[in-house]
Amino acid sequence: MKDRILELLRQESGYLSGQEMSTLLGVSRAAVWKAVEALRKEGYTIDSAPNRGYHLDAPTGRLSAREIAARLDGHPWAELVQVLDSVDSTNNLAKTLAAQGAPAGTVIVADSQTGGRGRMGRSFVSPPGVGVYLSVILRPEAPPEELMHLTCAVAEVLCDGIEVASGLRPGIKWTNDLVSGGRKLCGILTELSLEAESGHVQYAVVGAGVNCDQTLSDFPPEIRDMAGSLSMLTGKAVSRNALAAEMIRALSRLDGDLVENRQEWMDRYRRDCVTIGRAVSVSRAGETRWGQAVDVDDRGALLVDFGQGPEAVQSGEVSVRGMYGYV
């Protein structure tokens, strides 16, 4: 009932009376009133006026599976979206569901995370009401060596989704940070599970956290000079439900052509990667080296010239001069 009432209100630019809705839906006016009240409790702003009826003032600012599904508009993943108020980690829950047989396209969205994780085991600050924290299950039929570019492809499609939702296209700091104005907007974490006998990938979980509405003072002091949000950089509020829907739509493109179109994904990644051509420091195994990032290869490794020709860097901490406080 709530879904049908919500759809009628979305379609009407003005007011729609309770009597009109009860007639259209074949229910009592009391049932219409109860459904409207339930929608209000979910965060929808529905105005009511005597002799006029009801009007949907604006989409809810709260994350809502119903809102996200409506924006996906018939997309095959729309019915696989789960929205939670809080979770320790969307990736953790997605991995549990994947191990239990959840299909590709299962999406976990959370308003906050109590144990959000990033690359190299770092924590990812995930407060309520200001971000989108999302994980998707993929089931690529390929050995892991054919998926070395997965994180790069994820970063690229998320740039697309963020641009559609906000008008801002981020750059990519190798390997998995989306940035703009020298500040980090989004972190990405991809995790694979392998089948013991075949060595093929059983599932991949792709997680991303996007800062939407934080102000500078919302960030902890230790990351305040490097973190940013979409509202800070665009000067306007961003609908989190619209952003989540566009992220899901973008990630679904990986379900079919991740392996077949690796060259295309990597060509696009290189165009958006702000690390290429910059001075960098690379810290691995207790050693720090300085060089020039010259390219990213087709497996997603950063090629760095340390003075004797390019070397492939596939792990470690890479700092880019002029970004995140590195001078």
pLDDT in tens, the chain (327 residues): 888 888 888 888 789 999 999 999 999 999 999 999 988 887 778 888 888 899 887 655 789 898 899 889 889 999 999 999 999 999 999 999 999 999 999 999 999 999 876 655 566 778 899 999 999 999 998 889 999 999 999 999 999 999 999 999 999 999 899 999 999 999 999 999 998 777 889 999 999 999 999 999 989 999 999 999 999 999 988 889 999 999 999 999 998 789 889 999 999 999 999 999 999 999 988 899 999 999 999 999 999 999 999 999 998 899 998 887 664
Based on the domain organization, do 140 and 171 belong to the same domain? yes
Q: Is 326 a domain residue?
A: no
User: Residue 282 corresponds to which tokens in the numbers above?
Assistant: 């690379």
Q: Is 325 a domain residue?
A: no
Contact 46, 39 (CB under 8 A): yes
User: Residue 87 corresponds to which tokens in the numbers above?
Assistant: 């979770």
Contact 211, 131 (CB under 8 A): yes
Based on the domain organization, do 129 and 90 belong to the same domain? yes
Contact 322, 182 (CB under 8 A): yes
Out of 11, 38, 58, a domain closes at 58
Based on the domain organization, do 223 and 136 belong to the same domain? yes
Based on the domain organization, do 128 and 219 belong to the same domain? yes
**Tell me, what's the pLDDT at 116?**
76
Q: How many CB atoms lie within 10 A of CB 237?
A: 12
Q: Which helix (H) or strand (E) holds 243?
A: helix 240-252
Q: Is 327 a domain residue?
A: no
Please report, for residues 94, 107, 136, 193, 321, the alpha-carbon distance to residue 248 in angstroms, rounded to integers and kept in the order given: 14, 8, 8, 21, 32
Rama region for 26: left / alpha / beta (φ>0; ψ in -120 to 50; rest): left
Please report, for residues 40, 127, 176, 177, 185, the alpha-carbon distance to residue 124 in angstroms, rounded to integers and kept in the order given: 32, 10, 13, 12, 12
Domain count, the chain: 3
Based on the domain organization, do 252 and 307 belong to the same domain? no
Q: Is 121 a domain residue?
A: yes
**Tell me, what's the pLDDT at 250?**
97
Based on the domain organization, do 246 and 139 belong to the same domain? yes
| Structural domain boundaries enclosing 135 | 65-272
Based on the domain organization, do 295 and 159 belong to the same domain? no
Q: Is 146 a domain residue?
A: yes
Cα torsion 18, 23, 25, 29: sign? positive
Residue at token pair 């979305």: 10
Based on the domain organization, do 239 and 96 belong to the same domain? yes
Based on the domain organization, do 38 and 115 belong to the same domain? no
Based on the domain organization, do 74 and 162 belong to the same domain? yes
CATH number of the domain where residue 106 is located: 3.30.930.10
Sequence-ordered alpha helix ranges (H) in 100-212: 150-166
Q: Is 71 a domain residue?
A: yes
Based on the domain organization, do 185 and 266 belong to the same domain? yes
Contact 113, 183 (CB under 8 A): no
**Tell me, what's the pLDDT at 192?**
96
Based on the domain organization, do 46 and 93 belong to the same domain? no
Out of 250, 272, 294, a domain closes at 272
